Homo-oligomer: A and B are copies of this chain.
Amino acid sequence: MSQIPFTDIVANLPASVPFVGPEQIERERGFTFRAKLGANESPFGPSPKARDAIQTAIEDSWEYPDATSVTLRQAIARHWDINTDNVLVGAGIDELLGNVVRMTVPPGGAVVTSNGAYPTFNYHVHGFGGTLHLVDYRDDHEDLDALAAKAQAVDARLVYLSNPDNPMGTRHTADAVADFRRRLPTDTLLVLDEAYSEFAPEGTNPPVDPSDTNLIRLRTFSKIYGLAALRVGYAIAHADAVTGLNKIRNHFGVNRVAQHAARAALEDQAYIDALKNEIERGKRAYAEIARRHGFTALPSFTNFVTIEVGGVARGDRLLKALQDRRVFIRKPGVPPLDRCIRVTVGPEDQRTIFEQAFAEAVQEVG
């Protein structure tokens, strides 16, 4: 009998997926969610200028995108006052992570990350046959000391850190991150996922310095910029790292609509500034809701609030009770983080839906 000639790596991979999306839950349960507050998108939507850019791009829908995303890369370079050569655009941080892993991790290569951090990063490491070394969170923060020590101990090719952190919403200061970078082995590449950085205060993100060969910073248009549907993110990195990624990436992978919309969104910083205030208001509202029910909201440096609900079983039941009320949220997957639930900040009408459903859920779960 004939067989598909899988590589050993693929033959040995489990058939798991990083995330089950809300559409799948909707199909299984036969309803549509009233509020989707589980994936930390921006339910506020993108800048009107980005919407206009999508509208305009309809005319060119027959035409392949620019494989080098030059116009968008130039806008990003201007935004950060760096060279275009230090910017690589990808189909979201997920695609960039996959290519960074592929570029640096041979089968068996050592990779260090936090236990409970981004599942899609782990998925890619497994997918390329790398060996994951997990370090526990400490006090709901990624543990920089332990991460650096582990990277030294296993001579890691790659270390993944998200700052601010997902799923806990905590952060380290820019100084702490810069110090952490210096404590890694000489040839270790630090992947700094800054998907939530726009929500964090000054002093969270180290200065942008693309002369560092061993630091790749990842940014996205899926969070504050409100364009998760279109799949676009970018890396800021040393030109040699960009060259390396250009050797392997899918060159026509970033669609044309995304390139135009992302540029328009980036160039409307007034919209982003206004949004930040609204999100701060939303975070305070969620903290107040938590308090009212006797729970504690962790201080958040992101667009979501992580709420301690007093144990994994109660958290799971609350998630389920919220789902029964057609409210979609998520919760961390590993102990001790899984004693919490995680709720995205949406506009006021969505927060109200959450508030009411949560009150009922708490009542039901006890």
Interface residues of A (CB under 8 A from B): 2-10, 13-19, 21, 23-24, 27, 36, 39, 41-46, 50-51, 54-55, 57-58, 60-68, 70, 91-92, 94-95, 98, 102-106, 109, 120, 127, 157-158, 186-189, 213-214, 222, 226-231, 238, 240-241, 243-244, 246-248, 250-258, 261
Contacts and interface: CB of A to CB of B under 8 A. Distances in A.
A250 B95 contact: yes
A187 B3 contact: yes
Nearest to A156: B5
Q: Which 7 A-B pairs have the closest CB atoms?
A: A229-B256, A62-B226, A23-B66, A13-B247, A61-B229, A231-B255, A64-B228
Given A10-B247, A250-B94, A257-B54, A19 B67 contact: yes
Contacts of A157: 5
Given A67-B19, A91-B253, A104 B5 contact: yes
Contacts of A45: 61-62
A23 B254 CA distance: 15
Contact of A229 (B63, B95, B238): B63
B227 A61 contact: yes
Contact of A91 (B17, B91, B222): B91
B51 A94 contact: no
Contacts of A61: 45-46, 50-51, 54, 226-230, 261
A95 to B, nearest CB: 5
Contacts of A102: 7, 10
Contacts of A127: 247-248
Contacts of A120: 251
Nearest to A227: B61
Given A61-B51, A64-B41, A253 B6 contact: no
Contact of A54 (B3, B24, B58): B58
B104 A7 contact: yes
A227 B62 contact: yes
24 contacts: A3-B214, A5-B187, A5-B188, A7-B104, A7-B109, A10-B103, A10-B247, A21-B66, A24-B66, A24-B67, A39-B64, A42-B62, A43-B62, A46-B61, A50-B61, A54-B58, A61-B230, A61-B261, A92-B253, A94-B252, A229-B255, A255-B255, A255-B257, A255-B258
Contacts of A42: 62
Contact of A4 (B10, B36, B240): B240
A44 B241 CA distance: 39
Given A21-B68, A67-B21, A6 B250 contact: no
Kindly name the residue among A4, A21, A228, A241 whose own CB sees the greatest number of chain B CB atoms within 10 A.
A4
